[in-house]
Structure 1
Amino acid sequence: MLSLRSRVLAHLLSSPAASTISPLHRLISAAAPAVSPDPSSFAVEEYLVSTCGLTRPQARKASPRISHLKSPANPDAVLAFLAGLGFSGAEVAAVVARDPQLLCSSVERTLSPVVAGLAGLGLSPSEITRLALLTGVPFRCRSVVSGLQYCLSFFGSSESLLGALKSGSILGSDLERVVKPNVAFLRECGLRACDIAKLYVLSPSPLNIRTERIRTAAGWAEGLLGVPRGSRMFRHALQAVAFLSEEKITTKVEHLKKLFGWSDAEVGAAFSRAPSLLSRSEDSLQSKYKFLISEVGLEPAYIAHRPVMLTYSLEGRLRPRYYVLRYLKENGILDHGRNYYCTLCMTEKVFMDKFICPHKEAAPHLAEDYADACRGEVPARFRFA
């Protein structure tokens, strides 16, 4: 009997999705007579492996969370429901591994209303599948519908929202007591809908913390980093300080001031232009700063007023682009007036179009050398005397 049930479910999970929920109920009903195992023989870990497709380590980790299950009846119904929505076997395994308690949900009381609500917001079956894979726990909570509806007001479409979200944690937050008050406060600070949308996609998101905390963080952004509310960088500053303590922020600012020899004004200029410096490791910042000072020959004050340079990858951008620019200048291919900082701010495509592709004849190995430099190698042609 257990083998028959597994074959029925395997067929459901591998067959094309049913167009409506009602045919699924007939499928479940048809399988029901065969599903009457001895409750005492139901092994949760084995079920997760053989029926849900989890790996043994995944099943071992997940099984304690649903150890109270004594029968496969409800999990079977959930799996059939997911198959009807178009979930593949791999997608079912991913969702169950992330949220094993989904198998304990009621199809009639929870999952069907959630799916109906999401469809009512305009989500297609494939988008509902994407959402479930993204959010895990919220998919079995009715609040995900109201949370998503509120999110859509900032993104405009479900496609934009699902394309941007890396985590669904914000969708599981308390909408009325946490998210909405935070959004209202941030609007008072001058943030626009597009700014708030960018905070939604962060994980963790500042929108998901207590309102008192976000008010405190706003004060730190202004007082400690010198980024005023309403400015273009305020969202970035808020994001940088939201999960740090005042002591840690102060310590980091003071350390960088000493490390780089910046004045108070230069520190203020740097953090007001690149608040994300707070999230960079001190070793990483020091190695970039040393390169810009000793090899490129920039002045500390120059860097302080262009701190975005310190947020770029040393190996992937700072060094390789400097090498290309210097090589072209020293070989008379490019005039010496070209600005290094401007090349750093270019996208990779623009940089290639402007500084690599036009010089294929004069410097036939430049593209290869640049690629090697981006991998951390220093080609012989880039070793300057």
Structure 2
Amino acid sequence: MLHLRAYVASHLLSSPSTSAISTLRRLISAAAPAISPHPRFAVEDYLVHTCGLTRAQALRASTQLSHFKSRAKPDAVLAFLADLGLSSTAVAAIVATDPKFLCAGVERTLAPVVAGLTELGLSRSEVTRLVSLHPSHFRRRSIVSSLQYYLPLFGSSGNLLLVLERDTYLVGSNLEKVVKPNVLFLRQCGLMDSDIAKICVSRSRILTAKPGRVQAMVACAESIGVPRGSGMFMRALRAVAFLSEDYIATKVKYLKKIFRWSDAEVRHAVSKYPYVVPSGEDMLQRKSEFLISEMGLEPAYIAHRPIMISLSIKGRLRPRYYVLKFLDVNGLLDQNPDYYYVFKMREEVFVKKFICPHKEAAPHLAQDYAATCKGEVPTNFRFT
């Protein structure tokens, strides 16, 4: 500014007095910054004030939208999302997750996608759920052809959306080179489409894994004694999917040790209840201590009824065992029941068979049983 003043003063001194004012105006005009009639579009501020992003989110997102010169296109996208019924919170989440969603063409892409999904049978609420789950895929028209393949496979849009909530890769995976070969192979292993859908609810990545990896999963399922085509194969595949051969071998050794099983017994137990393989070691240790050390069950008995390992000690095994022991100690059992069948009974059946008949002889039995289910040990159930 000082330089400008000196520059102006020198020209005023050297200029005729009659032109001093005009010279001053010309020089100030030349030195002043140009003001554009169309100021630059402030992307970051737009993301904060119009889209609802935080300042930190807007700063990150704005790097992908620096080419925007006006709010015309993002305004059109926001209007489209609002018309679909998405809340401002949902829109903010979409833009924060996928800023380039604001670049999508409404007439060219978004509207045709919605029309295509509607023709496939998706409801309006399912469409809005899908755009929230996978905005980056929703702004690609190929999502319609992908879902056209997946819908018959999963049986319903509800089943499909349940899987898509857990798997961000399924919609964008290569159908021809990855998904379809995997589905074909699983069908050749004896699985129905309904079986594949059930597996994908908890192991959705099985369809998007490399075909060679899926073949290895099938080999692992067979290695624990469950052949392809058998009724237990689907469960076995779901249990060992993405587990390594070394992990499975180590776990089998651990099961033999804590349950005192022979090679034949552990193989039988794992084939009957494959989910014992991925179960946590701490949980398995507690089940072993209760079933063998406290209840006194034989290892072979457990090996042939491994489903007992899946039952809760607190919520089912201990309360029912204590009831039976109480009845036995007090001479109220007609015969020794089979623990496996007692543990498998529905709650109402157990109460009707072992608690209701003894209301007079043991009036506090129902209360003690309920307390034990909550983790307490009533006086009547303290057997020492």
Deviations 1:336-362 (A, max 9, x none): 443332233345565566656776776
Aligned residue for 1:244, secondary structure, equals coil
Q: 2:220 matched to 1:220?
A: yes
| TM-superposed deviation, 1:66 | 5.2
Deviations 1:273-298 (A, max 9, x none): 11111211111111111111122221
Aligned partners of 1:138 and 1:356: how far apart in 2? Answer: 57
* Match in the other structure for 2:341: 342
TM-score (norm 1): 0.77
Aligned residue for 1:172, secondary structure, equals coil
Structure 2 unaligned spans of 5+: 1-37
Q: Is the 8 A contact 1:53 1:90 kept in 2?
A: yes
Aligned partners of 2:156 and 2:97: how far apart in 1? Answer: 26
Aligned partners of 2:345 and 2:57: how far apart in 1? Answer: 46
Q: How has the CA–CA distance of structure 1 residues 115 and 350 changed in structure 2, closer, same or farther, with 3 Å as cutoff?
A: farther
Higher relative contact order (CA 8 A, sep 6+): 1
* Match in the other structure for 1:191: 191
| Counterparts of residues 1-385 of structure 1 (less than 5 Å) | 38-39=40-41, 41-43=42-44, 47=47, 50-53=49-52, 56=54, 60=56, 64-65=60-61, 67-70=63-66, 71=68, 72-96=71-95, 98-162=97-161, 166-169=165-168, 170-223=170-223, 225-331=224-330, 335-348=334-347, 351=350, 369-385=368-384
Aligned residue for 1:173, secondary structure, equals coil
Give the partner amino acid of 1:77. Answer: A
More displaced 10-residue stretch of structure 1: 113-122 or 368-377: 368-377
TM-score (norm 2): 0.77
Aligned partners of 2:135 and 2:347: how far apart in 1? Answer: 35
| TM-superposed deviation, 1:147 | 2.7
Deviations 1:99-150 (A, max 9, x none): 4543443333332222111101011101212333444543334333233222
| TM-superposed deviation, 1:329 | 4.7
Q: How has the CA–CA distance of structure 1 residues 368 and 220 changed in structure 2, closer, same or farther, with 3 Å as cutoff?
A: same
Aligned partners of 1:132 and 1:323: how far apart in 2? Answer: 52
Q: How has the CA–CA distance of structure 1 residues 227 and 86 changed in structure 2, closer, same or farther, with 3 Å as cutoff?
A: same
Aligned residue for 1:69, secondary structure, equals coil
Aligned partners of 2:345 and 2:56: how far apart in 1? Answer: 48
Q: Is the 8 A contact 2:232 2:272 kept in 1?
A: yes
Q: Is the 8 A contact 1:270 1:304 kept in 2?
A: yes
Give the partner amino acid of 1:245. Answer: S
Aligned partners of 1:279 and 1:266: how far apart in 2? Answer: 18
Identity rate, percent: 57
Aligned partners of 1:102 and 1:192: how far apart in 2? Answer: 37
Q: How has the CA–CA distance of structure 1 residues 171 and 322 changed in structure 2, closer, same or farther, with 3 Å as cutoff?
A: farther
Q: Is the 8 A contact 1:138 1:172 kept in 2?
A: yes
Q: Is the 8 A contact 1:315 1:374 kept in 2?
A: yes
Give the partner amino acid of 1:175. Answer: L
Deviations 1:52-110 (A, max 9, x none): 456x5xx7468535532235544433332122112233443454455454344333333
| TM-superposed deviation, 1:232 | 1.2
Give the partner amino acid of 1:43. Answer: E
Q: Is the 8 A contact 2:162 2:201 kept in 1?
A: no
Aligned residue for 1:239, secondary structure, equals helix
Aligned residue for 1:279, secondary structure, equals coil
Aligned residue for 2:277, secondary structure, equals helix
Q: Is the 8 A contact 2:251 2:277 kept in 1?
A: yes
Aligned partners of 1:244 and 1:140: how far apart in 2? Answer: 35
* Match in the other structure for 2:19: none
Q: How has the CA–CA distance of structure 1 residues 356 and 88 changed in structure 2, closer, same or farther, with 3 Å as cutoff?
A: farther
More displaced 10-residue stretch of structure 1: 278-287 or 164-173: 164-173
Give the partner amino acid of 2:206. Answer: P
Aligned partners of 1:358 and 1:127: how far apart in 2? Answer: 51
Aligned partners of 1:368 and 1:262: how far apart in 2? Answer: 37
Q: How has the CA–CA distance of structure 1 residues 163 and 353 changed in structure 2, closer, same or farther, with 3 Å as cutoff?
A: farther
Deviations 1:220-250 (A, max 9, x none): 2112x01101011111222222212221121
Q: How has the CA–CA distance of structure 1 residues 83 and 273 changed in structure 2, closer, same or farther, with 3 Å as cutoff?
A: same
Note the aligned Cα RMSD (angstroms): 3.2
Higher alpha-carbon Rg: 2
Aligned partners of 1:363 and 1:184: how far apart in 2? Answer: 60
Aligned partners of 1:164 and 1:324: how far apart in 2? Answer: 42
Q: Is the 8 A contact 1:167 1:203 kept in 2?
A: no
